[in-house]
Structure 1
Amino acid sequence: MSLRSRLLARFGFAVVAVYLVITLTFLVVVLTPDTNLRGMLGTALWSGASPAEMEQMRETYLAARGRNQPLYRRYLDWVVNITLFRWGLSATFGEPVTQVVGAATLETAKYLVPGAVSAWIAGIAVGIRSARERGSRFDRLGRLATYVLFGLPGFWLAALVLVALDGGGQLARDVIVPGGAVAAALLAGQVSLTRSRSVDEFDADYVRYLRAKGLSDHGVDRRVFRNVLVPVLSMTAAELFSVLVLSVVVLESLIGIEGIGWLTYEATQENDIPLILGTTMVLVVVGIGGSIVCDLASAWLDPRSR
């Protein structure tokens, strides 16, 4: 299959996957009990509100969140609004959803990108050297250290560091500490995969030939790196999405970073439908879009994978 055909096929798959995720998100939203509304009505009842006042409060709440329409109409509006980028106003913040989501995404990217890149570079370097020197002290200590980091909760490490730094400065709180937590969560997987893929490469005949020709260890490492780059790229995309969906929500809520994880949690708590729509699209773009980019990069780097 040519690269162009693969691009078209992957784009078609992405469109189907995006609307499938959108539909599943809609079902989760409409089928989940609105505890926020129940709490408001319970408080109003306790305060002595009349049934008419409580009904008015309920109708106002549902109308502000687009939940006063029939189910099929709400689904059609949901799909059309996403397709046309009409995400509306956030009922929680009173601002355009695109503006709120854009600012939150930037806050997350400030630490997520440096953390992921650092884990990728360090993981590949440690993994290749461990494979080249397998059984050595560096191999054993390097793998032990990465797995210890992987076993420790990232949000706990981040909180511990901030306490040790007495809160730290703005740069430490918003970038360095959460970026380090992300790197710690990704590093063990990068080291493990790179090492396992590189072991077979170092035992291959072409490596023996290169060494017999007098190529240095760094030169051999570069050749091995080219051959293990494709699977490492694929794992990076999968792990990055899992970190974004799971760890980032806890990390941002604990540290107080108003990023996309924190915003997703707030939108769910407030049952803010337009905001849930916006945060869902960010997660979909990062997950599916990142997977497609890695797949196409793999096809470009290794024609055999086409």
Structure 2
Amino acid sequence: MSLRSRLVARFGFAVVAVYLVISLTFLVVVFTPDTNLRGMLGTALWSGATPAEMDQMRETYLAARGRNQPLLTRYLDWLVNVTLFRWGLSVSMGEPVTRLVADASLRTAAYLVPGALVAWVSGIAAGIRSARNRGSRFDRVGRVLTYVLFGLPGFWLAAVALVAVGGGSALLREVVVPAGVVAAALLAGQVSLTRSRSIDEFDADYVRYLRAKGLSERGIDRRVLRNVLVPVLSMTAAELFSILVLSVVVIEELLGIDGVGWLTYRAVSENDIPLILGTTMVLVVVGIGGSIVCDLSSAWLDPRSRES
């Protein structure tokens, strides 16, 4: 299969996957009990509100969130709004959802992208060196540090970083520190996978043949790197999505960053349907888009995978 055919096929898969995820998100939102509404009605009842006043309060609340329409109408509106990027105004914040999501995405990307790149480059370099010199001091120390990083939870790293920076500059608190936390969360997996894959490559017959021909160790490293990049890229895409969904919420809540994680938490806690729609689209684009980029990169790096 050519790269162009593969791109068309993956784009079709992406479209189907996006609407499937959006549909599942709609069902989760619809059938999840609204604790905000329950709490508001409970407070009103405690304050002595009449049944008519409580009914009016409920109707106003549901109408403001577009939840007073039939289920099919709400679902069709949901799909149309997704397709046309008509995400409306945030109920809880009173601003256009597209602007809120765009601003939050930039704040998150400002530290997430550098952190992922640092972890990717340094993790692959350390993994290949550790595999080439396995049993050396560098290899032993690197493996110990890898196990330590595997055991450190992201929220603990973020809390320690928050104490360490104290009243540091905005650049330090919103970019440098969270990027370091992201890099630490990804680095252990990068080093471990690269090392295990590279060991098999360094023991392969073609490496012995290249050494016998007098190829330098740097040249051999480049050959090994090309062969291990495909599985490492796949793991990077999966780990980056898990960090975006889970760790970013904790990082931004602790460090006070108004990014996608913070916005997602705000949308869910306020049951802000337009905002939930916008933040869900960010997660969908990152998850599915990253998977497609990883797949196409794998096909470019390893032509054999195009036949699969």
- TM-score band, normalised by shorter chain: over 0.9
In the alignment, what sits opposite 2:76? 76
Deviation at 1:108, TM superposition (A): 0.5
8 Å Cα contact 2:146-2:192 kept in structure 1: no
In the alignment, what sits opposite 2:106? 106
CA distance in 1, matches of 2:300, 2:74: 42
In the alignment, what sits opposite 2:267? 267
CA distance in 1, matches of 2:165, 2:293: 38
In the alignment, what sits opposite 1:63? 63
CA distance in 1, matches of 2:14, 2:113: 23
1:146-189 CA distances to partner (integer Å, 9 max, x unpaired)?
Answer: 22122111221122122123232211110111111111111111
In the alignment, what sits opposite 2:44? 44
Deviation at 1:215, TM superposition (A): 2.7
Deviation at 1:280, TM superposition (A): 0.4
**3-state SS in 1 of match to 2:88:** coil
Which structure 2 residues correspond to residues 1-150 of structure 1 after superposition, within 5 A?
1-150=1-150
CA distance in 1, matches of 2:102, 2:193: 33
Which structure 2 residues correspond to residues 275-294 of structure 1 after superposition, within 5 A?
275-294=275-294
8 Å Cα contact 1:150-1:186 kept in structure 2: no
Amino acid at match of 2:276: I
Is 231-240 or 42-51 further displaced after alignment? 42-51
Is 203-212 or 266-275 further displaced after alignment? 203-212
CA distance in 1, matches of 2:154, 2:180: 8
CA distance in 2, matches of 1:26, 1:83: 14
1:99-133 CA distances to partner (integer Å, 9 max, x unpaired)?
Answer: 00001111110110011000001110110011101
CA distance in 2, matches of 1:56, 1:183: 50
Gaps of 5+ in 2: none
Q: What TM-score results when the alignment is normalised by the length of structure 2?
A: 0.96
8 Å Cα contact 1:149-1:185 kept in structure 2: yes
**3-state SS in 1 of match to 2:167:** coil
Structure 2 CA distance for partners of 1:251 and 1:112, relative to 1, 3 Å: same
Identical aligned residues as a percent: 82
8 Å Cα contact 2:230-2:302 kept in structure 1: yes
Deviation at 1:251, TM superposition (A): 1.4
Gaps of 5+ in 1: none
CA distance in 1, matches of 2:7, 2:214: 41
CA distance in 2, matches of 1:302, 1:15: 25
In the alignment, what sits opposite 2:240? 240
**3-state SS in 1 of match to 2:118:** helix
CA distance in 2, matches of 1:138, 1:195: 12
**3-state SS in 2 of match to 1:167:** coil
CA distance in 1, matches of 2:257, 2:131: 38
CA distance in 1, matches of 2:289, 2:266: 24
CA distance in 2, matches of 1:19, 1:302: 30
Amino acid at match of 1:256: G
CA distance in 1, matches of 2:261, 2:86: 22
Structure 2 CA distance for partners of 1:165 and 1:85, relative to 1, 3 Å: closer
- The Cα RMSD (Å) is 1.1
8 Å Cα contact 1:146-1:184 kept in structure 2: no
